[in-house]
Amino acid sequence: MRSIFFTLLTLTALLHAVLAQTSIEVIPGVPFSGPSVVQYASQSSLFDAPKVQRLNDTTWDWWYFDAVSPDFDYSIVVVFFTATSESLWPGTTDVGSADYMVVTLTLPDGTTLEAGVVGKEVTVVTVENGSSGIVGNTSSGWVGTPDMKTYTISIDAPEFATTGTIVFTSTAPAHFPCSSDISSAGQRLNLGPTPIFGWLNAMPDADAFVDLDINGTSLSFTGIGYHDKNWGSQPLHTSVNSWYWGHARLGPFSFVWFDFVAPDGTELVSTYLSRDNKVISSTCDGATVRPVGDGAVFPPTPVSSMSEPQGFNITAEVEGEGTLIMQITHKKVLSATPGTTWRWIGQASGGFGNGTTWDGPALYEQFTFSN
Ligand SMILES: *[C@@H]1O[C@H](CO)[C@@H](O)[C@H](O)[C@H]1NC(C)=O
Ligand SMILES: *[C@@H]1O[C@H](CO)[C@@H](O)[C@H](O)[C@H]1NC(C)=O
Ligand SMILES: *[C@@H]1O[C@H](CO)[C@@H](O)[C@H](O)[C@H]1NC(C)=O
Ligand SMILES: *[C@@H]1O[C@H](CO)[C@@H](O)[C@H](O)[C@H]1NC(C)=O
Ligand SMILES: *[C@@H]1O[C@H](CO)[C@@H](O)[C@H](O)[C@H]1NC(C)=O
Ligand SMILES: *[C@@H]1O[C@H](CO)[C@@H](O)[C@H](O)[C@H]1NC(C)=O
């Protein structure tokens, strides 16, 4: 498996090295002791490449993937981190390297399984726009095509007796936080008002095929997939007070939202809507994401047993279409970490208020930090 992975990476790199923009970066698991260089303006290529050069104790960069089955039986989140615990979750145990993969899987009975691997470094090869990475000397990593139309994740976590692959085929074009013109250099990549927190969405929606072996039991499902990346130039909890983020497939539409409350209380939004693999809207204006139900407070406060919202109402102005109005109700909790995270899978339903509505699966979260 390991050699197949290396061959894929090497071939991709070789084939395109002379033809295209390529970057090869080795991100050591021991962070650099001086300032990192962090990117917040787009280049005309290398969309999904690392955005932090010389990762240190307080900067961070991650590649995130998920998939949810349309019947809500299964969901999986895979994150490749390059970050110390100090930069992301101060007070938690360091895994001994800044470079690691975490897999979270939910099963039909609601149980959650976790698996992971740690590497001495992560090597990331980017050809044109798609990146590929491998964690240390393991067989865990991801391979993206130059056009970002396909990503393949390979999971090999011997300590958890978990192996497998996830193949994502994009059904929605990539976008920046406030624009889908990804060939234009100099576009803003920060979500908040100041350039401290970056976000890029390579696969706003995808068909995902998940095929795993968990300690001798095989498990496979097809579902709705997604891939993005975040990065930052200071510890996460000092960069944001809270956010709501998620993605949903509504009939022919793919919808992604980010509602972000900066440390100074400023609320910023980013929404994206595509239909039949064509972008309709990608903007930082005209949207609200609000919790509903008994536990609903806005802005959200750090997680406590009392503050789980029962769902969300989302509205987004879509130029040429009207106002998208969408409700989400939870089906399952994917993960909950006291003090910071709720992540759910649920049912989205909505439309443009003209009588036609669509339903579909959503995967979404609420993060809160007490500053
Ligand atoms: C890490 O990099 C960030 C961004 O350049 C910088 O603000 C911070 O001071 C750096 N930390 C150290 C220890 O140099
Ligand atoms: C991989 O690296 C780990 C340390 O990060 C080491 O313990 C292990 O022996 C290495 N395995 C191989 C096959 O090189
Ligand atoms: C795998 O299953 C065997 C029993 O069939 C058990 O002894 C072992 O602990 C399991 N391994 C893991 C990583 O769960
Ligand atoms: C990569 O993105 C650039 C714009 O950022 C675009 O011009 C180019 O066609 C893309 N390459 C591929 C293979 O999609
Ligand atoms: C959420 O949306 C539904 C349907 O549009 C509406 O009835 C309800 O009042 C909204 N709730 C909140 C808290 O905005
Ligand atoms: C309502 O608007 C949507 C989006 O423009 C469109 O696809 C749908 O056909 C419209 N429905 C009606 C009944 O006009």
Report pLDDT digits (tens) over 38-97: 999 999 999 999 999 999 999 999 999 999 999 999 999 999 999 999 999 888 888 999
Residue 68: the pLDDT is 98
Please tell me what DSSP assigns to residue 160: G
Query: For residue range 266-286, what is the model confidence (pLDDT) as tens digits?
Result: 999 999 999 999 999 999 999
Mean pLDDT estimate for the chain: 93
State which of 30, 135, 137 you would mutate to test the pocket of ligand 2, scoring each by most atoms of that ligand within 8 A of its C-beta. 137
User: What is the Å distance from ligand 1's center to 238 Cα?
Assistant: 14
Residue 19: the pLDDT is 63
Count of alpha carbons within 13 Å of 367, Cβ hemisphere only? 19
| CA-wise closest residue to 270 among 200, 222, 183 | 200
Domains 1-27+58-239 and 242-371 share a fold: yes
Report residue 308's pLDDT band, with 50, 70 and 90 as the boundaries: confident
Report residue 192's pLDDT band, with 50, 70 and 90 as the boundaries: confident
Q: What is the pTM of this model?
A: 0.94
Give the whole-angstrom CA distance, residue 74 versus residue 304: 26
**Who's near 273: CB < 8 A, 6+ residues apart?**
253, 254, 255, 279, 280, 281, 282, 316, 318, 321, 324
Question: Which ligand lies nearest the alpha carbon of 217?
Answer: 3
Residue 52: the pLDDT is 98
User: What is the Å distance from ligand 5's center to 254 Cα?
Assistant: 22
State which of 105, 215, 217, 218 you would mutate to test the pocket of ligand 3, scoring each by most atoms of that ligand within 8 A of its C-beta. 215
How do 75-83 and 99-106 pair as beta strands?
antiparallel
| CA-wise closest residue to 139 among 160, 113, 165, 115 | 165
Query: For residue range 206-262, what is the model confidence (pLDDT) as tens digits?
Result: 999 999 999 999 999 999 999 999 999 999 999 999 999 999 999 999 999 999 999
Cis, bond preceding 299 (omega within 30 deg of 0)? yes
Residues 271-283 as b or e (16 or more Cβ within 10 Å = b): bbbbbeeebbbbb
Domain residue ranges of the chain, discontinuous segments joined by +:
1-27+58-239, 242-371
State which of 255, 352, 358 you would mutate to test the pocket of ligand 6, scoring each by most atoms of that ligand within 8 A of its C-beta. 352
- Judge whether residue 306 has pLDDT over 60: no
Query: For residue range 96-142, what is the model confidence (pLDDT) as tens digits?
Result: 999 999 999 999 999 999 999 999 999 999 999 999 999 999 999 99
| CA-wise closest residue to 100 among 29, 49, 149, 32 | 29
- The helix/strand count (H/E) of the chain reads as 3, 23
Report residue 15's pLDDT band, with 50, 70 and 90 as the boundaries: low
Report residue 178's pLDDT band, with 50, 70 and 90 as the boundaries: very high
* 313 touches ligand 5 (CB under 6 Å): yes
| CA-wise closest residue to 135 among 150, 120, 151, 115 | 120
User: What is the Å distance from ligand 5's center to 356 Cα?
Assistant: 18
Pick the CATH number of 242-371 from 2.40.370, 1.10.287, 1.10.246, 1.20.120: 2.40.370
How do 278-283 and 217-232 pair as beta strands?
unpaired
In CATH, the number for domain 1-27+58-239 is 2.40.370.10
Atom of ligand 2 at shortest range from CA of 120? 5
Give the whole-angstrom CA distance, residue 233 versus residue 242: 17
CB of 360 within 8 A of CB of 250?
Answer: yes
